[in-house]
A and B are shown apart, each in its own frame.
Chain A
Amino acid sequence: MANANVATPNNPTSGNRFANSSVTIEAAAPAARISFRATPKGAKDFGKTLGIDLPTKPGLSASNSSLSALWIGPDEWLIIDTKNSINSLMPRRENANFCATDVSHRNVAFIISGDGAENTLCASCPRDLSPAAFPVGTASRTIFGKAEVVLLRIGKTSFRLECWRSFSPYVWDLLIDGAQDAHI
């Protein structure tokens, strides 16, 4: 039971759900997120702690049950854990080889799934999202309309889209508008 003295969280996307015959768009559950910046050594060390090798090539991600590590830049990863708390994820100590910053509340996420998922995203994202160019597991920081997003293909016809929380109403509306043409 929640502690009565502890403030109740409030997420701007919670409960969002849209579906038509081609695509379903839902708010993802709150997750723990770290923006991880590191030297190659720092990345290796933290990978060991997490039990996952942080990918070192553009577009790659690595996953291990509820944990995913997305390559964002040459020294930058987005670590997402959909089950465990941020406290269990954050490195205990600061270290000259890395910087871990809690961004759990900075981002929110939507799951876009269905045969029309790719088309829904292609309404506003200029990346080539075809399975050939963007296979399952591909991650990319890109743009969606006027918002910066991180896309992760989590399945043949499903994507996770991460954006900053204040952009989420815009991104949500834009997803719905794109979904109107998802069957085309």
Chain B
Amino acid sequence: MNPSGQQQFRLPGRGSRIGAKSVRFTFDNKPYEALEGDTLASALLANGVHLMGRSFKYHRPRGVLAAGVEEPNALMQISRDNARTTPNVRASVQEVYDGLQAQSQNRFPTLNFDIGGVNNLLSPFFAAGFYYKTFKWPAAAWDKIYEPFIRRAAGLGQAPTEDDPDRYSNRFAHCDVLIIGGGAAGLMAAKLAAKKKQTIIICDENPHFGGWLLSDTDIRIDGKAGPDWAADTITELAAMNNVRLLNRTTGIGYFQQNMVVLNQRITEHQSKPESGDARERMWQVRAGKVIIAQGAIERHMVFPDNDRPGIMQASAAQSFLNKFGVAVGSQVAVYTACDTAYAAAFDLAEEGIDIPIIVEHRTDIADDLLAQASELGIRVITGAVVEGTGGKLRINSVTFAKQNGNDRETIEVDALITSAGWTPSLHLYSQSRGKPQWDEDTQRFLPGESPQECVSIGACNGTDDLSDIFAEAAKCTGSRAPRHAIEDDVSTMSGFIGATGTSADKGKAFVDFQNDVTAKDIALAVREGMHSIEHVKRYTTNGMATDQGKLSNMHGLAIASKLLKKPIPAVGLTTFRAPYTPTTFGSFVGHSRGRLFDPIRQTPIHDWAVENGAEFEPVSQWRRAWYFPRSGEDMHQAVDRECQTVRSVAGVFDASTLGKIEVVGPDAAAFMNIIYTNGWDKLKPGRAKYGIMCREDGFIYDDGVVGKLSNNRFHVTTTTGGAPRVLNHMEDFLQTEFPDMRVWLTSTSEQWATIAVQGPKARQIIEPLITGVTISNEKFPHMSVVECNVCGVPARLFRISFTGELGFEINVPADYGRAVWEAVWERAEPLGACVYGTEAMHVMRAEKGYIIVGQDTDGTVTPYDAGLSWAIAKAKPDFVGKRGLQRPDLMAQGRRQLVGLATKDPSKVLEEGAQIVADPTCPVPMKMIGFVTSSYWSGTLGKSVALALIEDGTNLIGKSLYAPMADEVIEVEVTGTVFYDTKGERLHG
């Protein structure tokens, strides 16, 4: 070792995962060297850097605790550039690449000197439940002081401020067997299942398959070292075309019917990602069978000041040594309640690192362990506890004693490794809706039977011995147990030990590092009445950080169980939720960003509207032409002009987005009678009718004009946004309530492009384009439909109006939409007509009091409320909504009814949504008797027009009401809903 130079803690010749090539990276802007294959944590440790972060609440200095995904402390901001910066990346997971920039988090101004550290001194005030207790009073302080304060303190790291330039992708996959975890258990299962010709996906969250075999180099399988056996197995699997190997891929969630979601990180480790590669890929895998081989996670020991940099899991120290050739210190003490820590200690000692003491919590230790320790000159004190540690930014001493307090001793160290046993990872098993079972013998939760086709093997199933693990892999794949000679220096493994110790009542003994929860906090929560682990968790925030309690949950549970004097299973276990590890939004979003966020639907005439300067508005997924401003016009002027041109000459409008449903069959009319409130028996082929559709509860669901093409065939139109749900509603009733009716429904919304021509000159415009029919007022009156040819293509022509003017709607097959539109426009323009958009359409229909479902109705409006009682065929024996409409509350007097509002000052345009009151002088909160649903400036009438739902509205016609706004109260008069051409004569022009 070379303590003065770079990478002074790198041991030459050690580390199976690192290459010879150096890479350079920066941490808090300081340059460092690392070796290819390093994680950020191993690279910093190689350089003697243990201080990697500050804790969330107390801002205590923290080092790396783990070598895997469970790391709670060393969370970093990793950046390539301003747009590619990711907060809260675990240094133990991030692979170092040339040029990587890492910043520590939650400190100001620097990691070494952090002003927030004052919180540590104030910590008596920040005990569990602090927030609940403190911010209750005075109530007024919440907005001004508490919430801003908490918001400032909340969150870790910086979210990027620029758009993410990278691509993320998704893949749906199916396989016979999905294996999650590529350690000894998973690899063996894959090897055996692959021989059975099954399709297999095996994933592992690490860059390399092998799991613990890569960290414990003393294991021999058939004489081969663990890493070599793993490498050979991978080579074998990679050559088989029924096996897909996914490294750097985490099983993040287990859902219904064996749907497991995997998150693959593709470029996070690359210095210069290849352009075109997705940064991450989400795999949504539907597996015949799932084999969970997630492994286990080592718990830390809980004792005062157990969070100083330099204190870490024994398994982490072993991994750093054997995978990366990094020594975690030069004088490394051990505190353990589990045999596996000895393996770590022995490996370090064999490299010449001083192991001054093993503080053993248990009293009975296997002789062979003690013998090996003594052979390596390591002192072991049994039945002992660590009472505290010293040091500021790094541990420099450890104080330990016998459990009764005798033989207290303090020695100098620069690292302390601990083990309180291993927690089997039940996350995915639990997400499969399997119930964890408490195993009294080994004091841990183990998987039981999952209701889904899945099995847990290996360490996550509580199986510690490698021979047993291989036998499990054989059993779950239906293979004969393979025979392998397995050797190891330390093979036994102890179960869970209540590692709270007597000393945990003093000082800060951390249970949850990331959320700064101590053993005392858990005790306080129990004292204050939190007796369920779910309550303890929420009161203390134990297990609620981004690591989701991978280290802390079992400790919290054990401490609470001890204080409550209840067995652990009686205290309960908190729920495991997806994702298993933090997953980026990009990965969840996948392809669905930008243009692919949601389909944007355009009509066949859309491009013409673009070319002619239309402004567009979104209507459900559609983009509709909103208005067509001429140069110098604002929206208001354009809409005024469009309305007035339609009313005085004519206008052409793209109505293609209207929903269209073809209702066909011998029972079509009977079906229409059921679905609509109107009667359809008398309608003759060639005629059309406005129909209202209710839900069973009697409220308006949709409306539209329906044309009868023949005795068997109706052409139904729906609102633009309502098309899919109306078809579903119809299918629902047809299939479940009226399966005997011989009727078929087909969506034809997109078969037809629909061109509305409205206005006094509408007939003059279209007449020459039409062949096969006469469209005079006598031969083709208002509310007619005919099949004919328009511009030489087969068309369905309607005589209908949504403006109150003489109007036609031409439906032609969509491919011809644009050409026919252009032909119509070629006729219309010279006559002085205009094209108009949805805004003018809205104004004109409001002038006529025509409702828009969803704007003038809100799902609580009946046809009676909307003034459409004429559209209800009361004599019909039944229709959907008939019984609903007979409910007393729907028949009651005083319901909100649709009326018109005329502002006293005609130039004032009400705000849509404005509340209406009867008496604006009564005290606040005053009674609101209704609200404005539609409101426009009518250029045609030279005044504002509005529709509103008002309690008992029809009886208030002629009365004054008020709309109290922020800066004024607007007086309105209640009117009828028709403002223009009240007799409706223009329709028949």
Contact = CB atoms under 8 A, between A and B. Distances in A.
B591 A174 contact: yes
Given A103-B746, A106-B748, A166-B602, A126 B819 contact: no
Given A123-B171, A174-B591, A6 B791 contact: yes
A101 B820 CA distance: 22
Contacts, number: 146
Contacts of A177: 167, 169, 591, 596
A99 B665 contact: yes
A166 B173 contact: no
Interface stretch (B67-75, B507-515, B808-816): B808-816
Nearest to A170: B599
Nearest to B711: A94
Interface in B677-693: none
A119 B712 contact: no
Contacts of B791: 5-7
Contacts of A102: 751, 813
A2 to B, nearest CB: 10
B792 interface: yes
A166 B750 contact: yes
B443 interface: no
A164 B278 CA distance: 29
Contact of A165 (B199, B662, B750): B750
A149 B664 CA distance: 23
B600 interface: yes
Q: Chain B contact residues: over half helix, strand or loop, or mixed?
A: mixed
A180 B278 contact: yes
Interface string A93-108: 0101011011111110
B603 A166 contact: yes
A53 B813 CA distance: 28
A146 B814 contact: no
A167 interface: yes
Interface string B805-832: 0000000111111111001000000000
Interface string B478-502: 0000000000000000000000000
A118 to B, nearest CB: 11
Given A101-B748, A146-B598, A7 B742 contact: no
B591 A94 contact: no
A99 B276 contact: no
B403 to A, nearest CB: 56
A124 interface: yes
A53 to B, nearest CB: 20
A181 B169 contact: yes
Interface in B823-847: 823
A39 B748 contact: no
A153 to B, nearest CB: 15
B123 interface: no
B780 interface: no
A170 B596 contact: yes
A67 interface: no
A3 B819 contact: no
Interface string A116-143: 0001001111111010010000000000
Interface of A: 3, 5-12, 30, 35, 37, 39, 75, 94, 96, 98-99, 101-107, 119, 122-128, 130, 133, 145-147, 164-167, 169-170, 173-174, 177-178, 180-181, 184
Interface of B: 167, 169-174, 199, 276, 278, 281, 284, 286, 591-592, 595-596, 598-604, 622, 662, 664-666, 710, 712-713, 742, 744, 746-752, 791-793, 812-820, 823
* CB-CB nearest 9 A-B residue pairs: A6-B792, A7-B819, A37-B744, A9-B815, A166-B601, A170-B599, A99-B664, A99-B744, A105-B814
